[in-house]
Structure 1
């Protein structure tokens, strides 16, 4: 059994509060607790990763024997602890199953299928469900691909018999059956809500334990790519029989320093207990700033909540530029013995939405400059590694975005951790707008799990619920959801993303009205509800394809000039100039930050497999529109000139040349001759039309009458070399951390080749492997789990992951036939590893 002294726990808590680059190991500062404790006080809680060492196989949704005899006949479920499925038996041979580590998405490896049986939609913009889900061969037409089985065998110790053991699944898509040692512990249909099973009564301490998960992705929950499998982390948690509940510590603090901590505890023994709770609060440097103590009596087989109050002085606020977090080490004591511990993090900040003045964070007025995002990425599908969550948030933070909407489902905790740490606000959204017991249970789980995160500024109870958002029935449902939210978190406001009936139906249940498009309804709504603040929960939905400047309906590409949007939507410039000009609008969130699989608007047909909505593509490569937002969403000087200058066969024809910039003025030169200087207008772009001639275009950016920036686009020659760059120079040798690699094609003179489509191979030497590749091409049907990828408009991406417990030097080479190769050398660093099975 792993045991921790109190000092070690405080050190661990301090480590958790220090934001560290993924590539380094640091020894945190530590301050002794204000009240000394014996060094041998022990905390028996263990939280161990179950991510490694699984076996995976596809079952079959309609053929029982091919589905490992699950549900063979009624006798299958007659006796618990027996063979409810052949794969659950101890002596089952899983040697032919695929070895996998978690997170894992099996759908990413399935073939693309046209799915001609779908009836074309009446409105082409709506697309069909096959296109909506990215044309992967999963669902009712593909029963052989829609069931996934996971199997893990592990041992426990004799000491575990006296403990409470649970397994926490952060996310399984979807309709999961969890079997442990032959017992069906639960059926869990949600693909986004975590689920915990208690295995205390079912463990073997004198032999192997068999954990089996059957995930059924036959039916989806969304209208976008959702993947399949155990795509989030899994944990084995060991505690005493009297313990702190999961997500049982709720911390609230205001900007004056007033602090309250509620701790939920459960006594699962047959005796009444007199318990003490000690809450030690540390700042981000690991220094103890206050300690609260309290006592409570807990009856046998009952639970209780202990409330503590105190003061933080001085208070350091969580903000976008200084995202400071505190840590609470909660110790549950029986007499002098620590019987359980819990580490929680929180931040102190003030959020206010005003119907006339907009949004305020810590008293500072600002616009919400946000993006909506689904949870998939090129190369890995929905099984996104933790380091990639941070990387994705940082790409948007660097652009100037300050808010992330989780659309349309509860996110993984690691995404919220990244937003907390990097200073990105969050709108947290439940999957189902319903007041059924299951729906309210999922909503309660969301609030309890996430309410300590300082990044969250709004709870969203629904998205475009067209069947009910404008009805009295919908209002009854929304009011029950609101009551539950307020009972668990009375501080944060409630919103819903509405696309019709704003001012009617569920409106009285909301604190902040969420507008999805329909900007013409804003003023009529304000007349009905002059005191209700407004936020644009979905805005823009402009479409563009990275590196493409002519619409091509055959290839399925859209122009990157910010000229195209569906009928219900607006271009980036149109929506932002509107929202930024009206102080009473709190701001808005673009649909979307990243391209995502499915919903390939505006074409919605084969062979397209991903959207065009993103400010960045599916790899996170910026499109030109990225620099429009960067110009107006942050204060650093920006000047971005486009398009490329390779227009062979169009000599003498006019080419639209655009610049996104926040400088005072920009002058364009074509092959050394001025095409004129233009004054920058706030929230607008600059545009010239000039005849094409090979050579170069150059933009000079002026501020206060002086040239402060220069950018050139040259006509590129033939592809000559591949360059390879990495987002970091080192990474953790924990089997989890990832490096984001970018390959780019250049000509002999070092000019990017804008239309290069060379096949690039990624070779790895050292303790690491490529876990996924991509290129951002919305019509590419190449494999994601591969070591090669064609460049799309000059770029390709590879995701490198280190081996578990294998430090050393890693060299990656990007090669392409006939081209000079690119190379990076990286360090896989030894790091302290979490406890794991």
Structure 2
């Protein structure tokens, strides 16, 4: 170990102080989204050669600082890798396999697929010289999973969980005024949950720049106390000093309303913390006549925190928050702003059709609004912390949230994850409860569970005393966790006696954290086990699971229960109970994976919503069943409903509160109509008509204007010549888009094994059996024919770099398994010499115009199977004896163009998710199929 002289230490601190003082007059922070233009390639779990030789270097990345090797090295050549934008989920891009994980939707990735369990990401960024003196960090909202990150070859750390946000300070490693390289290796070989989780950088990544004295990440905590017409807002802020700041500071807290008006402000005197230390400050701010955050009026404020030193603003940090009160009562349930609210909730995982877990921000709003339209007012994050954008959508749209950590335990691994979740999310007014566990069967009913819950509950309260804690419990409601948790979370009526538990623990509030689960396939009304289709009528699926109606009646009729969360709002990938392969999604959702409603949605809308509802099921296309009885149901909140078949009344029935109505109707083609009455007056009707065959493709978008790179969700449906939706057709539709691109497609069919993505396939083909010989002539082309089998030996082996030949010829082979004329084949040359000439199968190949080290290989010179490449070049010379010389000639890239995007409709519906290309042009979507009239939809860019 080397020792450093006192003079060296002094010089170091002089540099550090000058470094930290440079740029202290930069007033505010920058948060820059860096999702664009990443490079991606699969590595390998166990084969280091297929993992690009990573971690095989003499020092590698843990032995010596700055020695990231393989793709972690800054100079690694990634030109042949795929170019993409984040967020990205590589699992959704894979085919299905019966050998893959049942619980994760049978996608051929991750566990059991070592060639698709490691993903490498690389990105180059420019950081200007003017940023010297600022603190620069890379922020990740989530990488699934077990990610390792490098910056300019420096190993930054590992984050095991795929659900945690994390950041790394890279200030000391930056090439200011030059190029910098970010590298991420994600290892998704292990699953965290028992549901589809995806893989890769599936959430946003940011470059953050602050002054050395700044508010730490998630460093504010805003609470409020309402008295009469005034709210006293407590603003807590934690600041950090990574510079040489000394002396007095001012902490200024400004509250700004939704219109941007400053409505309150306060300034507190403070002192800068010591070098690399933090300090916490608390301010009280009064807001008169506050607009409360509520599910119907989600009013939001912004806290603008400034750190000032004299006239300089050293840092400015903004926090969105809401003013509201929450309270649980053991006998009366849940109260929001003093008003008794029944929680009408759903559980949800974080994936969507065609996209997996890599959801654009706008899709979070689409999904939350779908739940709101159903009458839902609460959302449980199952079973992990969500992406921040989901919580922002809940804040802005008015949706209450249970935020849930991933794993129960009392050590740093568990508690640190819990701490990060709470500190990240505690300013969201939508969050009303923390969940520290779910169905932990090994510990639910014993003292171990009690101890863990007591620790996690107390730990949560130490970070956020303003919210209660719950656990979802399913293995009995008598002892263990259920006897100590603050808010009892009941998972399923069939698992215990809820009334008996309440009578024993009268001071403990409770709610149904999972309930009312049923099996249903959208648009299917006869269970067909051979096809893996479950009837969409709401039925009790098995003894321990109750129907939606049974579940809601139980909770709605008991004031002491705060409400319930249905399993689930949307279908999700994986867990295809009660089936297995080839079912690849769940059957539990009120909506399918696209968000198309199943009929149960209308039951909930009847009793959760405020507007009159009348919904008739099933469809009325039953050719071949003439004269046979069909079960006809009506979901409604009307007083009475009368049913007609071809204008003949089949009787008027009274609607039972929280119920539905049923008829047995002998089928005949025509019109089935239901009329709803309120106070004896007809208020609305619903009709199911027998349709003719499909003729038209109808496209409907959720947006009429699509600026920038926003997305629109397009519904694809088939109609007959009269424009009626045809409910039992499954035609395959092909799609084209101009002015944008399709980023995902789905149809809600739980057994669909169709592609979710239609992407060009990129195959990297290595050059093998690489040999060399010394030059026999100065003319490059003649070196290939002169004494062709003499003098060849393994390339670079035992080369004497002090006595190299003036020129070398090299040869190797590469194997093309598919030499289709439509393929684009390129050779990405990595310099092994100077004045290089390339030959493939004896044909000289010119370099491409845009990259002198890239060679496009015309299909006419290529062969199916073995191909030979020759390289003639003058050798590189070692400048220093310890220089490591490149011996890799490069890689062959084969791009196989994708077939057009297409999807079969499922019971008349499919969905496209389309993103504008940012050109400012209108987006034009066309859909076509045999026998059908092409559908065309134009969405304006908003550009005049």
TM-score by length of 2: 0.80
* Equivalent residue for 1:819, pick from 932, 937, 944: 932
Question: Who is 1:155 aligned against?
Answer: 126
Matched with 1:281 is: 255
1:179-194 mapped onto 2 (5 Å cutoff): 179-194=150-165
Would you say the 8 A contact 1:541–1:566 is kept in 2? Answer: no
Which residue of structure 2 aligns with residue 355 of structure 1?
330
What secondary structure sits across from 1:473 in the alignment?
helix
Q: Is the 8 A contact 2:731 2:929 kept in 1?
A: yes
The corresponding residue for 2:920 is 807
3-state DSSP of counterpart to 2:59: helix
Q: Is the 8 A contact 2:239 2:278 kept in 1?
A: yes
Contact 1:270 1:301 (C-alpha < 8 Å) held by counterparts? no
Task: Write the distance in 2 (CA, Å) between the matches of 1:675 and 1:158.
Answer: 80
**What count of residue pairs does the alignment treat as equivalent?**
774
Q: Deviations over 1:310-344 (max 9, x none)?
A: 21101111011110011011111122111111110
Q: Which secondary structure state, in structure 2, belongs to the residue aligned with residue 594 of structure 1?
A: coil
Q: Which residue of 2 aligns with 1:765?
A: 738
More displaced stretch, 276-285 vs 379-388: 276-285
Whether the 8 Å CA contact 2:31–2:207 is kept in 1: the answer is: yes
Secondary structure, counterpart of 1:389 in structure 2: helix
Instruction: Provide, for residues 449-491 of structure 1, a one-character-per-residue CA deviation record: whole Å limited to 9, x for no partner.
Output: 0000000010000000111122222222222211221111111
Instruction: Map Cα deviations across residues 631-656 of structure 1 (whole Å, 9 max, x no partner).
Output: 00011010001111111111111000
Residue matched to 1:395? 370
Q: CA deviation at 1:830?
A: 7.0
**Partner residue in 2 for 1:90:** 74
Q: Distance in 1 between matches of 2:320 and 2:28?
A: 20
- Provide the residue aligned with 1:269 in structure 2: 243
Q: Say if 2:499 is the partner of 1:523.
A: yes
Deviation per CA, 1:651-679: give whole Å up to 9, x if none. 11100011101111111111221111111
Matched, 1:625 2:600: yes
Shift in CA distance, 90/331, structure 1 to aligned 2, threshold 3 Å:
same
Following superposition, the deviation at residue 568 of structure 1 comes to 2.1
User: Which residue of structure 2 aligns with residue 35 of structure 1?
Assistant: none
**Is the 8 Å Cα contact of residues 57 and 69 (structure 2) preserved in structure 1?**
no
Q: 2-side partners of 1:41 and 1:818: how far apart?
A: 68
Deviates more, 1:171-180 or 1:273-282: 273-282
User: What residue number does 1:754 align with?
Assistant: 727
Alignment-derived partner of residue 480 in structure 1: 455
Pair 1:506 & 2:520 matched: no
Matches within 5 A, 1:644-793: 644-733=619-708, 735=709, 737-766=710-739, 768-786=740-758, 787-793=901-907
Q: 1:106 is matched with which residue: 90, 95, 105?
A: 90
- Structure 1, 581-590 or 813-822: larger mean CA deviation: 813-822
| Aligned partners of 2:140 and 2:165 also within 8 Å | yes
Quote how far apart the aligned CAs of 1:564 are.
Answer: 4.3
Q: How does 1:631-646 map to 2 (within 5 A)?
A: 631-646=606-621
Give how far 1:82 is off.
Answer: 4.7
Q: Does 1:586 align with 2:562?
A: yes
For residues 181-218 of structure 1, give each alpha carbon's deviation from its aligned partner in whole angstroms, at most 9, with x where no partner exists.
Answer: 11110011001011111101111114321111000000
SS in structure 2 of the partner of residue 611 of structure 1? coil
Partner Cα distance (1:271, 1:637) in 2: 63
Contact kept in structure 2, 1:82 and 1:182, CA below 8 Å = yes
Task: Measure, in 2, the Cα distance between the counterparts of 1:293 and 1:785.
Answer: 53
SS at match of 2:480: coil
| In 2: Cα distance, 1:103 partner to 1:566 partner | 39
- Paired position in structure 1 for 2:312: 337
Contact 1:131 1:608 in 2 (8 A): no
The CA distance in 1 between the partners of 2:194 and 2:177, in whole Å, is 47
Separation (CA, whole Å) in 2 of partners of 1:384 and 1:138: 19
1:555 pairs with 2:669: no
The structure that has the greater radius of gyration is 2
Structure 1, unaligned runs of 5 or more: 1-39, 117-129, 832-837
Could you tell me whether the CA contact under 8 Å between 1:168 and 1:236 is conserved in 2? yes
Q: Which residue of 2 aligns with 1:420?
A: 395
Worse-matched range after superposition: 544-553 or 153-162:
153-162
Pairwise CA distance, 1:271: 4.8
- The equivalent residue for 2:106 is 135
* 40, 46, 52: which one aligns with 1:56: 40
Question: Residues of 1 paired with 2:483 and 2:369: CA distance?
Answer: 36
Is the partner of 2:313 in helix, strand or coil?
A: strand
Q: Is the 8 A contact 1:350 1:363 kept in 2?
A: yes
Q: Deviations over 1:246-272 (max 9, x none)?
A: 010111112220111011000112453
- Which deviates more, 355-364 or 396-405? 355-364
Shift of 1:509: 4.2
Distance 2:41 2:542 in 1: 41
Deviation of the 1:145 alpha carbon:
0.5
Query: Is the Cα contact below 8 Å between 1:295 and 1:306 reproduced in 2?
Result: no
Write out per-residue CA displacement over residues 700-739 of structure 1, whole angstroms, 9 at most, x where no aligned residue. 1111212221221111111100111011111230x3x210
- Cα contact 2:438–2:471 (8 A) shared by 1: yes
Q: Is 417-426 or 695-704 further displaced after alignment?
A: 695-704
The Cα of 1:60 is off from its aligned counterpart by 0.6
Compute the TM-score of the two structures, normalised by the length of structure 1.
0.91
Higher RCO (CA < 8 A, seq sep 6+): 1
Residue 574 of structure 1 corresponds to which residue in structure 2? 550
Indicate if the aligned counterparts of 2:483 and 2:505 stay in contact, CA closer than 8 A.
no
Q: Is the 8 A contact 1:80 1:182 kept in 2?
A: no
- Compared CA separation, residues 213 and 273, structure 1 to 2 (3 A): farther
